[in-house]
Structure 1
Amino acid sequence: MPEARYKRVLLKLSGEALMGEREYGIDPNVVSRMATEIKSVIDMGIEVCAVIGGGNIFRGISGAASGMERATADYMGMLATVMNALAVQNALEKAGVETRVQSAIPMDSVCEPYIRRKAERHMEKGRVVIFAAGTGNPFFTTDTAAALRASEMGCDAMLKATKVDGVYSADPKKVKDAIRYDRLTYLDVLSRDLQVMDASAISLARENKIPILVFSIQKDGGFAEVMAGQGKFTIITEEA
């Protein structure tokens, strides 16, 4: 088994990644494959936590655009992330990986409240911790929540799982001659408006010196490859 480059990481998954070929919702086969990807990294001895978006069920910004109050729409989006977190927890435990969901909005009947020290203890015991409900506040994206939790957990890296194998100058599915980057700085991402994560997430990662690795979750074994420094990915750090 290849040697791991990091001891503790946070995986940021979009809600859309759980849809598969569906127009909305959750594809159980895709969720099961995601669980296998995470298990392969756990088997390398890496401590893993995760933040999952809710765009496959409800996106706050879209709700606000259709006339709903932004704060209300964002709270609905947070609840969608809890649903996704529970789905991934179920798949991981079926794969034999102990998992805990911690929500920034207390809902004791279905998951634990977010408690930093408790989350750290879970990870030390080899459990996956999925942080749900974003930061618990409207007007903040799950990207920002991911950077915040990665900082609080003392993660060595933050992994952004996407549909492409890194960061491009434009959407490679729409622009044929889009440039792919192997390395970028935080300032490159902000100044070029590369849309990898929102600006507050990039700034928070920069402030806490957490490298961001962008890779394709659609490649089988891709997560483990990146953890071993192999495969294709873009790394975002202070120095290019």
Structure 2
Amino acid sequence: MTEEADKPIYPRILLKISGEALMGDQGYGLHPPTVARIAAEVKRVHELGVEICMVIGGGNIFRGIAGSAQGMERASADYMGMLATIMNALGMQSAMEGLGLHTRVISAIPMDQICEPYIRRRAVRHLEKKRICIFAAGTGNPYFTTDTAATLRAMEMNCGAIYKGTQVDGVYDCDPKTNPEAKHYSRISYDEVLARNLKVMDASAIALARDNGLPIIVFSLNHEGGLAAVLSGKGKFTIVEQS
């Protein structure tokens, strides 16, 4: 990545990954080798000089919507999901610090013994000092997903784009795991994502990104060096932006 053309497109990004991405093949919880692999991907990008924020979901531990569907009161279920994101953030912080990266876990729900409260100006200062900020507990409010929290934090931190790491290498018109004829989009508009209900992120997050002109880049987390390549405009991915 020493060539001029290989320099990252954006100097500051937000990386959004699902909680499920951390559980590997075990079906639940944190899979330490998977967490370590993702931490190594982030380190590779950090060494390129990119300032990085992260938002990690909690679906590998508890998903609020699922709890609500089983009869639990929705707000309580969502708060439980927020606590799951804090657990994931602490796990990722441990893996990153094991690689020598300086990180801060910043929670929308005050939890002073284990992480910092969310203060926008302080978080911006951490990024300027080249620390990686892991935003946890969503927005701190029930009924909002971590997708929406990621979009909100990306705008507050003045990130150039959201990079959403998934199990597939971009956005398709249907599930490529079940349909080998699925069409891959290299670019697609926010409105088309919403109209086709393509499940890139939830509708609130897509609308928020659209209204503020924040690009969303969808790529696969499964390829070694994939994040660094996509940040330089290489590899296979999808850009969601204005038409």
Shorter chain as normaliser: what TM range?
over 0.9
Match in the other structure for 1:138:
142
Q: C-alpha distance in 2, partners of 1:130/1:208?
A: 22
Runs of 4+ in 1 over 6 A off after TM superposition: none
Q: Hey, what does 2:50 align to over in structure 1?
A: 46
Question: 2:177 aligns to what?
Answer: 173
- Give the alignment partner of residue 25 of structure 1, picking from 29, 34, 38: 29
Structure 2 length-normalised TM: 0.97
The aligned residue for residue 64 of structure 1 is 68
What is the CA deviation profile of residues 96-155 of structure 1, one whole-angstrom value per residue up to 9, with x for unaligned ones? Answer: 110000000000000000110011000011110000000000000000000000010010
**Corresponding residue number in structure 1 for 2:161:** 157
Q: What is the root-mean-square deviation in Å for CA atoms of aligned residues?
A: 0.6
Q: Which residue of the other structure, out of 203, 206, 209, is the alignment partner of 2:207?
A: 203
Corresponding position of 1:184: 188
Give CA-to-partner distance per residue, 1:170-227, whole Å, 9 cap, x none: 1111222211100001111011111100011011111111100000001000000011
Residue aligning to 1:212: 216
CA apart distance, 1:4: 1.1
- Find the partner of 2:101 among 88, 97, 110: 97
Look up the equivalent residue of 1:25 and give its one-letter code: G
Aligned partner of residue 113 in structure 2, secondary structure: coil
TM-score (norm 1): 0.99
- For structure 1, the residue ranges without an aligned partner over 5 or more in a row are none
Establish whether residue 10 from structure 1 lines up as the match of residue 8 from structure 2.
no
Distance 2:154 2:196 in 1: 24
Whole-Å Cα distance in 2 between the matches of residues 44 and 12 of structure 1?
19
Percent of aligned pairs sharing the same letter: 62
126, 129, 148: which is aligned to 2:152? 148
SS at match of 1:38: helix
- Deviation of 1:31 (Å): 0.4
Please name the residue that 1:86 is paired with.
90
Task: Spell out, residue by residue over 1:157-176, the C-alpha distance to the aligned partner (whole angstroms, 9 max, x if none).
Answer: 00010000000111111222
- Partner-residue secondary structure (3-state), 1:64: helix
- Give the SS at the match of 1:85: helix
Distance in 2, matches of 1:19 and 1:33, equals 12
Distance (whole Å) between structure 1 residues aligned to residue 123 and residue 38 of structure 2: 21
In 1: Cα distance, 2:179 partner to 2:75 partner = 35
Instruction: Write the letter of the residue equivalent to 1:23.
Output: G
The code of the aligned residue for 2:129 comes to: K
Q: Which residue of 2 aligns with 1:193?
A: 197
2:114 to 107, 110, 113: 110
